[in-house]
Structure 1
Amino acid sequence: MSTLLVIAKAPVAGRVKTRLTPQFTPQQAADLALASLQDTLATVLATPAERRVLVLDGQPGPWVPEGIEVVPQCTGGLDVRLAAAFALAEGPALLIGMDTPQITPGLLTLGLDFTEAGAWFGPADDGGFWALGLADPDPALLLGVPMSVTHTGEVQRRRLTDAGLCVRDLPELCDVYTPADAERVAAAAPRTRFAALHHGLCAVTR
């Protein structure tokens, strides 16, 4: 059973996208987070998968569409929470976050094709990763990997190869963390909710 996992925070002002301030207010930053999450979940729904799970820190709202199962995140560091998310899968799984609204069903479909791969790795341009796919999910592959540092992706990918997995790479993408990131992603994916909201907010704040 193939599983698409999305790990995310509920879009609550002051708790998400805090690095987008002071260009945007905390509420505007949360609204951008919501738009990014909605774009992500819409893409997940458009991708062939047998199970689609939102692993959520916080409370779900009416923004969760039908067809998405919601499971609360466990406590602990990000490596622990990612490992626990993979433990939910009952077969091949691809895990993504909520910071890449520019993703497409084609990219996610590729990351779920384990015909010639034991793992898929989607590098982020900040040194992390935006996607991780495992043909045979093993939470131990993530535990202990240092998260949110410039060499996170390097360490995680090496963990996969050291385990003897055939790793294939997805395209490098930009995660939305800073105002500059938001501008780049909005320009790269102009038809998204995220881009439309970003354009509207910038028209007001500039």
Structure 2
Amino acid sequence: MPGPTTLLVIAKEPRPGRVKTRLGPAFTPRAAAALAAAALTDTLCAVLAAPARRRVLVLDGAPGPWLPREQPSDGPPFEIVPQVDGGLDERLAAAFACCAGPALVVGMDTPQITPALLAPATDPAAWHGCDAWFGPAADGGFWALGLADPDPELLRGVPMSTLATGAAQRARLTGAGLSVRDLPKLRDVDTPHDVEPVAAEAPGSRFAAELAALTGRVPRVNERKA
């Protein structure tokens, strides 16, 4: 049976020079794009394996070979919708605006996510007594945000890409009187210092394999959070 939650992935087409530019100069634009493509595929596969009412890829760019060919067992594959113009707050707000009923959005920077990590917000009891799910990121942002009743105004005007983004977004939720539950804290892939630790959290991922292919080094395996 499809889950009660719509799963959204907000992403940018992984083209050299357009994605993960902060990985330079440790990684060339082509290598950074290859890592981004692997991370995006890992993320999409995790979402395909999780129960969902709908699965929506909110994309800046065009689909490519990184789009998984696997078909989910509980419904259609990804709907692909274009991102709107504007800042990240406006783009996230627009993503939620296309949803009716509970929805959870994730980005393309956490290839270590699994269906088990998403389960609290996707299982049948996910929204019983809960208005929002919040996944904090180690850099002060957030990697996941879920809303039982998607209201774009809960995101508009929140300052994005700062050390205080996560705190500001969570405060917006609680300030609106919402009951918020937390998902585990994860590390985003933003800088060269993030690459190996994240790959170590997901040793069987495409991201880890791409890193090994690029560098010839296999990251030390960490215990992966479930």
Residue identity matched to 1:21: G
With 111-120 and 28-37 compared, the bigger mean Cα shift is at 111-120
- Between the two proteins, the alignment pairs up a number of residues equal to 204
Query: In the alignment, which residue of structure 2 is the partner of 1:155?
Result: 168
Residue identity matched to 1:57: D
Deviations 1:67-104 (A, max 9, x none): 11110000001100000000111110000000000001
Secondary structure in 2 aligned to 1:5? strand
Contact 1:123 1:153 in 2 (8 A): yes
Within a 5 Å distance, the mapping from 1:195-206 to structure 2 comes to 195-203=208-216
Within a 5 Å distance, the mapping from 1:14-163 to structure 2 comes to 14-65=17-68, 67-112=77-122, 113-163=126-176
Deviations 1:148-182 (A, max 9, x none): 00100000000000111100001100000111101
Gaps of 5+ in 2: 70-76, 218-226
Secondary structure in 2 aligned to 1:155? helix
Query: In the alignment, which residue of structure 2 is the partner of 1:168?
Result: 181
Residue identity matched to 2:29: P
Query: In the alignment, which residue of structure 2 is the partner of 1:185?
Result: 198
Residue identity matched to 2:175: D
Deviation at 1:2, TM superposition (A): 2.3
Secondary structure in 2 aligned to 1:126? coil
Deviation at 1:199, TM superposition (A): 1.5
Deviations 1:23-52 (A, max 9, x none): 111001000000000000000000000100
Give the TM-score normalised by the residue count of structure 2: 0.88
Quote the Cα distance in structure 2 between the aligned partners of 1:200 and 1:190: 13
Quote the Cα distance in structure 2 between the aligned partners of 1:151 and 1:56: 25
Contact 2:5 2:53 in 1 (8 A): yes
Contact 2:5 2:121 in 1 (8 A): no
Quote the Cα distance in structure 2 between the aligned partners of 1:39 and 1:115: 29
Deviations 1:125-156 (A, max 9, x none): 10000000000000000000000001000000
Quote the Cα distance in structure 2 between the aligned partners of 1:101 and 1:61: 18
Quote the Cα distance in structure 2 between the aligned partners of 1:115 and 1:93: 14
Contact 1:118 1:134 in 2 (8 A): yes
Contact 1:2 1:90 in 2 (8 A): no
Quote the Cα distance in structure 1 between the aligned partners of 2:215 and 2:127: 41
Contact 2:102 2:149 in 1 (8 A): yes
Gaps of 5+ in 1: none
Q: After the TM superposition, which segments of 4 or more aligned residues of structure 1 sit over 6 Å from their partners?
A: none
Query: In the alignment, which residue of structure 1 is the partner of 2:223?
Result: none
Deviation at 1:62, TM superposition (A): 3.0
Quote the Cα distance in structure 1 between the aligned partners of 2:22 and 2:191: 5
Quote the Cα distance in structure 2 between the aligned partners of 1:77 and 1:154: 18
